[in-house]
Structures are given as C-alpha cells and as structure tokens.
Amino acid sequence: MILLTGATGYIGSHTWVEMLNAGYDVVGLDNLCNSSDLVLDRIRSITKIPPIFVKSDVCDEQSLRRVFQQYPIDSVVHFAALKAVGESVQKPMKYYKNNVGGIINLLNICSEFSCKNFVFSSSATVYHPENPTPYLEDMPLGPANPYGWTKMMCEQVLRDYELLDSKFKVAYLRYFNPVGAHQSGLIGENPMGVPNNLMPFIAQVAVGRRDYLSIYGGDWLTIDGTGVRDYIHVSDLAKGHVAAINYLLRDKKSLTVNLGTGQGTSVLELLKAFEIATGQVIPYRIIDRRPGDIATSYANVDAAKKMLNWYARLTIQDMCEDVWRWQKNNPNGY
C-alpha cells in the first residue's frame, strides 16, 4: 500500500487519481493546512473509488505511527510541505521545521516499519540559478531562498538515510512548473489568498476575481523580455509519480530526475496561449522584476524518458483549457 502525504493538495490530489487509476492501494494523509477535504468527494467522482484519508500531520510522529500500524504501507510518496517562496523568506524556521522536520519523522517511522520505497517532491528551485539551461540532474545545486533550501536539505537527509539501509530506495523528482487541472474540471489548484504563481493568477483574472496581471519585468534576456519557464501539466506530472513507483518496485534502484517538458515558454507566450485556448482577454501591465526571479528555467528531460519511460504528453493549450474548465466551474475553488 502507498502512503501519499500532502494528498489533498494540488499535486497530491492529481497523483492520488492516477495512482488509483493504475490500480494501487493508497492511503492519503494531510493536515489540511493548505487544502480542503472537499477534494475527497471529487476524487471519488473521478475514480469511482472511495479514497482512504487520514487527517494527520507529518510532524506528529505518534500519529504517523498509528497510520503505519493500521495500514501495510510499503511505499511513501511525500508531498506534504509548505511551498510559498516569499513566506519562507519571512518565516524560515516555520519552513525548516515543517519541511525538514516532517521528513525526519517520516523516515524514523519508515525505519520502524521497514518501508523501503520513497518518492520525494523536489523542485527545479534546488538548481543554482547560474547554471546554463536546460538544467541537467548533475548540475550544481544552490537554492536562492529558504523554501529551496528545505528541498535541498530533504534530498541530503534522504541520501544520508539511504546509506544506512541498502534496501531503501528513493526517487528524487525535481518538478519544474506544474500547471493545469484534471480534465474533468473537478480538481485543480486552489491557492489561498493572492496566488503567487503565474497560471492561477491568469485564471483568476479570467474569471473576474482580479483586474489584471502584473508581469514581473519586460527586460529579461529572453525571446520577448519576459521570464521563461518549463510549464508541465499536473496530470502528466502525476503520471510521472506512477512511473517512479513502478520503477522503484521493479528495479529496486534510486534515481534523480527532472520532471518537465523540456520546453521553455515566456509569460507573454503563456498569456496569449491562454487567450487563444479560452477566448478570454487578460489585461496586463509590465512592472518591475520580482526579487529572486531568474530569466530562464527549463529541464533536460532525457533521464526521465530513459529511466522511467515517461515523458510529458500534454501541450500548453491543454494546460490552459484544463485550467479554465476548472476555474470557471469552481470560481472560488472548493
């Protein structure tokens, strides 16, 4: 059985659907600090399988122990984390405690219950910003903010833990920019407050919740002066996790891979694609650069193709259409 932590969150909920569709038994766990349990009914509607859910905190070791006592968990997919880059600069201790403290608890429990397979949600943000693009898995790391450091530290904690147990295997998955929503329009990204990320902000302008998009800088050294990122459909990303679990169970080896499309898209290109896919007009203003941003980030995806036999199939147009279906059916989220 697979334990998904952070299961009701954005990527967790989409991965839960793909895991159930692939026939895996799953128990989802979340403390609901950044998600809603209303997602559970939606997962049942999509998969026709009632999801098994435990409200619990990965920082609470005793409560994790009860989950492992109750279910025969042999694999963990660990999404539970705080992820707001700006907040992590204001409240670094909160981020280290939750993200790094959480994984240490979880590994103590994995050790107690001989759980040997672990999939970790890492991020493109671990790469040093001065690396040339596309990013390759063996390039130097060097996060630019406390959130990124928590991801790099968790990777290190896992690598050290691996040395203690030759049967313990980890898939280190470094996500680029997940966007989009399930094709059903039933689950999607549900940011609390003002969205920090581009696609949910565009979607909220389209649905009338915000007046216009502020574009952070028009003078980057890119195709049109706006920032370039590797946007990946969340359902493709979710399938990457199924591929990673299949790999760990079959090959019994650890791996580190980028999960992206390998294609860069600028802010203005994404905005235009959204307008074409949805017929909505998105007013925008170009303002100053956002501190900490970089011009360009996209992945080299050869390793994921080769080792997981996985690649992203959905296009920018699919991402925009699916976000819009989710947003207009659920203008205020869940």
Phi-psi category of 224—alpha, beta or left, where left has phi over 0 and alpha has psi -120 to 50? Answer: alpha
Catalytic residue among 95, 127, 135, 147: 147
d(CA 246, CA 119): 11
| Binding of residue 272 to ligand WQD (CB under 6 A) | no
- β-partners of residue 185 are none
The CB-of-71 to ligand WQD minimum distance in angstroms stands at 28
Q: What are the start-end ranges of the H helices in the chain? A: 10-21, 39-47, 61-70, 85-90, 92-95, 102-112, 146-164, 198-206, 234-251, 267-278, 302-308, 316-329
| Binding of residue 83 to ligand NAD (CB under 6 A) | yes
Q: Taking a C-beta distance cutoff of 8 angstroms, is the pair 244, 27 a contact?
A: no
| Binding of residue 59 to ligand NAD (CB under 6 A) | yes
Which of 255, 74, 80, 100 has its CA nearest to residue 172?
A: 255
**Contacting ligand NAD within 113-132 (CB under 6 A):** 121, 123
Residue 33's binding partner among ligand NAD, ligand WQD, none (Cβ under 5 to 8 angstroms by kind) is: ligand NAD
Segment interacting with ligand NAD, rule: CB under 6 A, options 76-84, 132-140, 201-209, 301-309: 76-84
Residue 32's binding partner among ligand WQD, ligand NAD, none (Cβ under 5 to 8 angstroms by kind) is: ligand NAD
Phi and psi at residue 40, in whole multiples of 5°? -65, -45
Residue keyed to tokens 């660990």: 78
Structure tokens belonging to residue 191 = 């940011």
Q: How many residues bind ligand NAD (CB under 6 A)?
A: 27
Cα-based distances in Å from 205 to 202, 220, 331: 5, 24, 11
Residue among 101 and 218 whose Cβ is closer to ligand WQD? 218
Angle, alpha carbons 40-44-47 (nearest 5°):
130
Polymer length in residues for the chain: 334
Catalytic status, residue 147: yes
Contact track, ligand WQD, 300-319, x by CB under 6 A: --------------------
CB atoms within 10 A of CB 110: 25
Contact track, ligand NAD, 16-55, x by CB under 6 A: --------------xxxxxx--------------------
The CB-of-69 to ligand WQD minimum distance in angstroms stands at 32
Segment interacting with ligand NAD, rule: CB under 6 A, options 77-85, 276-284, 290-298, 321-329: 77-85
Residue among 25 and 269 whose Cβ is closer to ligand WQD? 269
The CB-of-132 to ligand WQD minimum distance in angstroms stands at 17
| Binding of residue 177 to ligand WQD (CB under 6 A) | yes
d(CA 104, CA 80): 13
| Binding of residue 81 to ligand NAD (CB under 6 A) | yes
- β-partners of residue 170 are 118
**Contacting ligand NAD within 131-190 (CB under 6 A):** 175, 178
Phi and psi at residue 292, in whole multiples of 5°? 90, -15
Contact track, ligand WQD, 192-231, x by CB under 6 A: ----xxx--x-----------xxxx----------x-x--
| Binding of residue 290 to ligand WQD (CB under 6 A) | yes
Q: Taking a C-beta distance cutoff of 8 angstroms, is the pair 186, 42 a contact?
A: yes
Residues of this chain that interact with ligand WQD (CB under 6 A) are 83, 85, 123, 125, 177, 196-198, 201, 213-216, 227, 229, 267, 290, 293
Residues labelled as active-site residues: 147
Residues of this chain that interact with ligand NAD (CB under 6 A) are 5-6, 8-12, 30-35, 57-59, 79-83, 98, 102, 121, 123, 175, 178
